[in-house]
Structure 1
């Protein structure tokens, strides 16, 4: 937290320094925009081929082949979810929330992509529809579907409260991945990573810069829809904070299930090709 009264006196030109215009670190003008119209056209005549129900305060894994769609759906009450994605054939390639944030901003919506970790750096999934895109940014700077929160975890819970809580999203995702891959939880845990906070309404306070959450605007039937750019293994946790209006990592918050629906289109979007890994030649190519 920034001090209320800084120790350092401002220089004479402090106002001029603060007035310098910002520069976007990673301008994305050179990235080919996703063909959202083409993606949506591919939904005509699609077939639902899978459905996974995620119980409250638990997590489940699911698989989505490249070229398929999946939706995360609010079922019967306001509920946020923590989403992990991996390459279904290589868990070393996983969702890179930090680079996704650098490219698309703090909150994701239609047309944004979930990028994979280095050295792969390719789109894993493209968001093709968001029924909460009407929310935008509110007066506190809050918005929906963030890539700024990491995931609630039992280690931070113990650090701040002194107690143990076993249904944090980190724990839920670990147990779901362990079951799916038939590995001990301690072996699966390092593969759990920072998430896309689906349906969660968050931002940063303007005075202290702290991460905040507020009641999610999600309603029963709302969904976030994705197109799988590569073969995916996903894990979704129904956060123990429910709509995160008051607290997370809690047995008292009202929690609800989430649902993952998986669809196979009759044909791939016109011109679509599953993206390859980064074309960078590799660290070994650098001259000493």
Structure 2
């Protein structure tokens, strides 16, 4: 493909394309964590769910020669992890955070063990939609190759926002997330609702993992997640537990992750690894900014352990 010298505009184009590609797992994991936290429960295990979903999706896609079947398998695997997490947490005296850490280690360990045979084989990739067909600049057309899961993630954010605001299901989820006693007074079962929310959140994290292995970077390796499941928790806090804000915050995190490769694409290689740490620095900065006493609980479900 013929390359066109676009100068510094190339950095912006590369960041745009990178933000779209890198943000997709953040979208799914953050929306999954948002649902879980809206029910009044933390799930720090989504990093392990993400990695296990990536392995499961890749393995099933390779065996069935269908990337979409792989995505469904990743969602099912993630849902199983979420349901297991939710079931364990219903017992008295069990700590959400401790269970989440254990589930994270379990998911990563199982993924590494069962994923060994699939490190070399090539599974089919998820298709992309070209939104840059109108441009004559090859770099811009490549940057606007949008995977279908990115679009699904955007629609999912809108659907969750609508559900939380206008439906009976959303009202029940918000009531359980704010007050267990009020939920019981309304005849609701907090344990059941939190179980379902945690399972749905796990399924979304599994889909995010399938995106990593089946599209970008598009292979199964043991270090595929780079901590995205954990960073998504900071993203949810930064987004103030709002699904639409999660989508835009995910794009911000994606742009930070694309900064290093974007600068490298125009010949700026000095300090490349420093720029590669931008997502982690952003996560740390956001946690510091959102930890102020007058901001920490703004928008947070009142039943979360963090706010007590």
Structure 2 length-normalised TM:
0.21
Structure with greater helix share of residues: 2
In the superposition, the TM-score normalised over structure 1's length comes to: 0.22
| Higher normalized strand content (fraction of residues) | 1
